[in-house]
């Protein structure tokens, strides 16, 4: 019995040794696997994992709290408005092509043939100032005055600088001294379509002796229109104001004439400074505006000096023609 007991005791002692051995072998195998995984790892993946771990570990800043309505009300500052949306930029319009011009040979041939040929040429070149000017002059020469005025209006719309053309001026003034219907068309052309040159021509109708009473009165009335006065030059305005005087001018008007007047104002200034027959005395001469004689002489002197300076500054006629 003692033998069996000893046999059992030896076998029981051997079991823990076997278990310890197996555990040691398992730990060694696990260690080998870990070392192998470390040796074969991808450096890029490890770096990414480390960065992700640090990012998750660092605390993110809390979002800024929007100001409460009570804070906005206490500060009195209005809530910011959203910025307006910008309108899309419009594409630039293409540059307008210059109008077609007639060739010199074409224009010379049409001028030789007369207004009918020039009219056909004007239909082909409706914005050519040279063609329209030649047509208006030809129509005036052929005494087709109404047609000449219409052509002149078209010309002034295309080329406003043509309002200073002397040939066209003579046609318009001739029409203003014609029949009432024709004269009204001419006055309308002067008042609306010739810039500052138009009021100058109206004043010429008023003051030139070759015009009758009706054209003079009508031109004088048109000169009083506000739209015409807006077109008129300061020199013309002061001359026309002096022309309409029934009493002596004020010192303010004389100052205007001294600064802005030309030979048209000078005519009235000299008349006011010249002795005239006294009322009730045919042989006695009186100065109409005696207390203003000093101002009148100073005004006349200033206008004459300006006229002479302008004449001296102008180029000689021969060089200007070249």
What pLDDT score was predicted for residue 74? 46
* The predicted structure's pLDDT at residue 290: 87
**Confidence check: pLDDT of 38 > 70:** no
Task: Give the pLDDT mean for 40-69.
Answer: 49
- 13 or 135: which leads in pLDDT: 135
Summary mean pLDDT of the chain:
81
- CA pair distance 273, 249, nearest whole angstrom: 12
- pLDDT tens digits along 126-176: 999 999 999 999 999 999 999 999 999 999 999 999 999 999 999 999 999
% of the chain exceeding 90 in pLDDT: 60
pLDDT at 275: 85
Instruction: Give pLDDT, residue 6.
Output: 44
- Residues 142 and 119: their CA atoms lie apart, in Å, by 13
Per-residue pLDDT for 68 more than 90?
A: no
pLDDT value of position 279: 75
Could you give the CA distance from residue 135 to residue 118 in angstroms, rounded to a whole number? 6
Global pTM exceeds 0.75: no
Q: 286 phi and psi, to 5 degrees?
A: -135, 150
Instruction: Look up tokens 């910011």; give the residue.
Output: 80
HEC string of 256-321 equals HHHHHCCHHHHHHHHHHCCCEECCCCCCCEECCCHHHHHHHHHHHHHHHHHHHHHHHHCCCHHHHH
Higher pLDDT, 122 or 320: 122
pLDDT band at 71 (very low <50, low <70, confident <90, very high): very low
Which residue from 207, 206, 202 is spatially nearest to 228, judged by alpha carbons?
Answer: 202
List all residues 6 or more positions away from 232 whose beta carbon is below 8 Å from its beta carbon: 196, 199, 200, 223, 240
CA distance linking residue 297 with residue 54, whole number of Å: 101
């Amino acid at each position: 019995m003692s033998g069996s007991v000893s046999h059992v005791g030896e076998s029981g002692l051997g079991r823990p040794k076997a278990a310890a051995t197996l555990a040691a072998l398992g730990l060694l195998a696990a260690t080998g696997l870990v070392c192998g995984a470390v040796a074969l790892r991808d450096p890029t993946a490890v770096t990414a994992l480390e960065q992700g771990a640090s990012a998750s570990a660092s605390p993110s800043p809390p979002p800024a709290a929007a100001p409460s309505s009570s804070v906005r009300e206490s500060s009195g500052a209005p809530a910011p408005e959203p910025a307006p949306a910008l309108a899309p930029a419009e594409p630039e319009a293409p540059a307008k092509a210059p109008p077609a011009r007639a060739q010199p040979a074409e224009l010379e041939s049409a001028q030789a043939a007369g207004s009918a040929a020039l009219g056909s040429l004007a239909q082909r070149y409706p914005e050519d100032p040279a063609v329209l000017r030649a047509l208006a002059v030809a129509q005036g020469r052929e005494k087709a005055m109404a047609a000449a005025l219409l052509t002149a209006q078209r010309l002034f719309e295309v080329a406003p600088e043509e309002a200073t053309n002397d040939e066209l001026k003579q046609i318009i003034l001739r029409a203003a001294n014609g029949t009432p219907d024709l004269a009204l068309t001419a006055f309308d052309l002067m008042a609306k379509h010739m810039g500052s040159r138009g009021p100058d021509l109206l004043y010429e109708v008023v003051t030139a002796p070759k015009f009758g009473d009706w054209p003079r009165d009508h031109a004088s009335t048109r000169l009083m229109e506000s739209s015409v006065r807006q077109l008129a030059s300061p020199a013309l305005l002061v001359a026309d104001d002096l022309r309409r005087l029934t009493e002596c001018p004020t010192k303010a008007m004389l100052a205007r004439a001294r600064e802005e007047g030309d030979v048209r104002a000078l005519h009235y200034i000299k008349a006011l400074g010249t002795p005239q027959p006294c009322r009730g005395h045919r042989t006695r001469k009186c100065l109409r505006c005696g207390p203003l004689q000093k101002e009148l002489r100073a005004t006349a002197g200033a206008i004459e000096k300006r006229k002479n300076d302008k004449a001296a500054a102008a180029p000689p006629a021969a060089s200007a023609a070249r």
